[in-house]
Structure 1
Amino acid sequence: MISCLIRVHQALPLPPLRVQPPPRTLPPSKPTQKCPPSPPRSQSRKTRSSPPRSTRARSNSAVSCSRAGGALPFPIPSSSREKRAKANALRRISPYFFNAGLLSSGPSLHPLALAYAHTIHTDLPAFDVLFGPAYKGIPFAALACLTLYTEYGVNVGYAYNRKEVKDHGEGGSTVGAPLRGKRVVVLDDVMTSGMAVREALQIIAREGGQVVGVVELLDREEVGGREGRKSTVQELEEEAGVKVRAVLGMRDLVGWLEAKGMEGEVGEMRAYREKYGVKE
């Protein structure tokens, strides 16, 4: 096919044709095997030749990309606060709003994918499928699935749910890797009341999968709405019997804001944390 294209191109008055070599194929790995990081593709690439960063460094990068991408806007107008409080299952007026949907560019998604993959690879048990609840969880699952393979050689699938069940084509309520008989890790953006994750657990159970872990992008580190003493993460871990981990926590956000000299925002967040934060 390439030779035919070259001959056709030579017969036409067009610029020189550049034929790209086929991409390098990574060695296959077992679905649940956690392998060491893949060897550098090029020693000239700094990101490949440097040693792996720590969890804290990856978290700081994720904080930076979230702020740079506009996912952590300050301040929130009072009218918007009231509106968001009504939409929040915990009915709380927060001084900050984390909108992961605004992380929509390569520079912001790249460190985010690395942080997700690092957290999954180091803190969770073996699994087969990443599940991204619609809608914001879908790109996170796809990015983490790809990054786990390119950075760690871990070959797993990913899937997501539909908001409306499809009755034509392939049909069904989920898309992607099959869940039946599989160990599943759920990815979420922000956990406040845990409603989205609980819904995902029900969907996965209905499809015959077994949830073995949950990774959220941001843990607000607030007390849940059931007992008022434990965090939503703690409530979910006890309720579902799964391990829940976060890429970022409220402490990470506060520390990053302090380093940037944003004292006004830090003061509001501290006051909110004093009122609703988990007491340790």
Structure 2
Amino acid sequence: MSSTADYKTEFMRAAIHGGPLSFGSFTLKSGRQSPYFFNAGQFYRADLLEAISTAFGHTIAEADKAGVFLTEGADKDTSSAASFDVVFGPAYKGVPLATAAVSALARLDKARYGGIGYAFDRKEAKDHGEGGNFVGAPLAGKRVVIVDDVISAGTAKREAVAKIRAAGGIVVAIVVALDRMETLPDAPTKESALGALRREFGLPILAILNLDNIIEGMKPFATADDLARTEAYRAQYKAED
């Protein structure tokens, strides 16, 4: 089994057996009734955090070394130096994901990623002490990878991109734990939130897992009813991008 399969398999196992990925009936913000729900806030236990941080680390490192994060006019040599400077997590769930991802990157390759910083935003600007809207690494002039749990409508990611750009940062990619692969509610075309963001910003947007992965991963243990409802949900709402 390849290292890619290893970390994705372990992430899937942790999500399913540890509680972050649940099956049943859940009402989403869109009003849809989903047969599954992914909650990154449930990766609070050490072994579960290890699984998601490792998955983010591998996903980011593989994309970096493949040149996925390179912007126009950037040095095309990705053999030794990272093509990004900061991992940014939108408050609140993105905060532990960013810090854990940076730690995982350092474990994977300290020479390449030991100087990578993390940052996150405040919900309200701090007016005392160091003040400001952000915590962590400075963003001005830095190449930034945004990490988060899922993309629903994409609103939080648009806000993160706007904040980083306003601070002088250069967003080079968005990486999420899960791509639900479903169409946006009331969209004129069968486009997903992930696809809409990719088209709007012209950025690479990557996911560790997607709905197809979940369906394959649940087959060994899921009830026939859970599996059938999840497959039916995919058939009804899966995007075409």
Q: Compute the TM-score of the two structures, normalised by the length of structure 2.
A: 0.86
Shift of 1:227: 3.6
Give, in whole Å, the separation in 1 of the partners of 2:45 and 2:226: 25
Listed as ranges, the matches of 1:122-201 within 5 Å are 122-124=62-64, 125=69, 126-153=83-110, 154-155=113-114, 156-201=116-161
Residues 67-97 of structure 1 deviation map (CA, whole Å, 9 limit, x = unaligned): 1221112223xxxx3xx43xx1x33221111
Q: Is the 1:128–1:183 contact (alpha carbons within 8 Å) kept by the matching residues of 2?
A: yes
Identify unmatched segments of 5+ residues in structure 1: 1-51
Aligned length: 220
Unaligned runs of 5+ in 2: 70-82
Equivalent residues in 2 for 1:1-280 (5 A)? 53-76=2-25, 81=26, 84-85=27-28, 88=29, 90-124=30-64, 125=69, 126-153=83-110, 154-155=113-114, 156-225=116-185, 226-279=187-240
CA distance in 1, matches of 2:46, 2:164: 30
2: CA distance, partners of 1:123 / 1:222: 24
After superposition, the Cα gap between the structure-2 partners of 1:157 and 1:114, relative to the gap in structure 1 and judged at 3 Å, is: same
1:58 is aligned with what amino acid? Y
What displacement does 1:53 show? 4.2
Is residue 136–residue 188 contact of structure 1 (8 Å, CA) maintained in 2?
Answer: yes
Could you say what secondary structure the match of 1:75 adopts? strand
Task: Tell me, in whole angstroms, the C-alpha distance in 1 between the residues paired with 2:127 and 2:21.
Answer: 38
Alpha-carbon distance, 1:107 to partner: 1.1
Q: Conserved in 2, the CA contact under 8 Å of 1:127 and 1:212? A: yes
Which structure: greater strand fraction? 2
CA contact (8 A) 1:60 1:252 kept: no
Deviation digits for residues 81-132 of structure 1, max 9, x if unmatched? 3xx43xx1x3322111111101111111112111100100112421100000
How far apart, in 2, do the equivalents of 1:223 and 1:208 lie?
Answer: 32
Tell me, what secondary structure is at the counterpart of 2:33? coil
**1:261 CA displacement:** 4.1
CA deviation digits over 1:158-201, x for unaligned, max 9? Answer: 00001111111111111000001100000010112111111111
Q: Distance in 1 between matches of 2:43 and 2:223?
A: 21
Q: Indicate the percent of aligned positions where both proteins have the same amino acid.
A: 39
Q: Which secondary structure state, in structure 1, belongs to the residue aligned with residue 35 of structure 2?
A: coil
Contact 1:59 1:252 in 2 (8 A): no
CA deviation vs aligned residue, 1:221-264 (integer Å, no higher than 9, x gap): 11234443222111111101110000111011100111224322
Counterpart code for 1:127: F
- 4+ residue segments displaced more than 6 Å: none
Report SS of the residue matched to 2:36.
coil
Which deviates more, 220-229 or 134-143? 220-229
